[in-house]
Amino acid sequence: MSSLTNTVASRAHAPSTSSTAQAGYWSRWLTDSHRGMGAFALANLAVAILLVALVPFVSIEVMGAHALSKPIKFLLSTALFSGAMAIYLPMLRRPRLSRVYTWITVLILGIEVIYIIVQAFRGVRSHFNTVDAFGPAVFTAMGIGISLFTLATLFVGFRFIRLRRAELSPTLLTGIRWGILLFVLFAFEGGMIGANGGHIVGGPEATIGLPFLGWSLHHGDLRIAHFFGMHALQVLPLLGYFVLRKRWMMHLAGGLYLALGLAVLLFALAGRGLLG
């Protein structure tokens, strides 16, 4: 995490800045406010690797899939998110905001992944579990927590929109803005999944899907747009950093990504699976 952050940071500077000044600036940039978010990313990755190692020794299934597949997916997704934010947040130069947002992220997402892991080992669903009164109550509480976390992320995105830093790459900054915007938009699409009573449209929840991901092959699956849109947080800044060199190109890429995500969502709402 440290080497990646320093590399991104140094390339984001204007050429006129001395290499010594760059190294000192980005060293402070990393250590001042983002060790917590980076550590959270590494912790999620480590637990995901541990669960992968346990897969051959665990025979529990939930809804026809290996019980550990869901927590592994959530852990990896959380690691990607928190790792990306550990790199982006220092650009704001707002240590207090970064600390508060880090605590919100660790508290809410940490509780969620722990709950998902516990439910997996119990052999019961973590989402849409209506077996007893406990399941719906926890699901509602998780929904409230995720909504608060998403609103906090939206506020961070607003700060990035207002950010004016000449030494930062314009395409990287534009990619971060688009990435956070699309993350928030498609995170709230999770509310649509809740209103639907599940992620499948036009078929049963226990349906044939892609290995590991579980996306339905024959019915509409709202998780695909949810996944695609939220990971714009990593894809678009990477495009802005490595590939695109003009701001208008980055805006075009962001608009196309949004359009594709909405098309995938409409496809799912029409009950169409990956194989039609």
List, in sequence order, every residue forming a beta bridge with 201; answer none if it has no partner: 220
The pLDDT of residue 195: 85
Burial 177-187 (b: 16+ CB within 10 A, else e): bbbbbbbbbbb
Closest CA to 229 of 32, 31, 77, 91: 77
User: Which residue bears the tokens 């995938």?
Assistant: 264
Closest CA to 212 of 69, 39, 99: 69
Closest CA to 168 of 9, 13, 276, 6: 13
The pLDDT of residue 210: 82
231 three-class SS: coil
List, in sequence order, every residue forming a beta bridge with 208; answer none if it has no partner: none
Closest CA to 239 of 172, 170, 169: 172
The pLDDT of residue 40: 94
CA-to-CA dists, residue 219 to 53, 68, 179, 192, 196, angstroms: 31, 23, 28, 16, 14
List, in sequence order, every residue forming a beta bridge with 61; answer none if it has no partner: 66
List, in sequence order, every residue forming a beta bridge with 221; answer none if it has no partner: 200
Q: Provide the CA 172 distance to its chain's centre, in angstroms.
A: 18
Helix axes 35-54, 69-88, angle to 10 degrees: 160
State which amino acid sits at residue 197. G
CA-to-CA dists, residue 168 to 23, 88, 162, 203, 220, angstroms: 15, 11, 13, 48, 41
User: Which residue bears the tokens 């290996």?
Assistant: 66
The pLDDT of residue 25: 43
Mean pLDDT split into 10-residue runs, the chain, 276 residues: 49 46 47 75 97 97 91 97 95 92 96 96 84 80 95 98 91 97 96 87 77 87 96 97 96 98 96 83
Inter-residue contact 104 to 149 (CB < 8 Å) = yes
200 three-class SS: strand
CA distance 179 to 254: 8
State which amino acid sits at residue 198. G
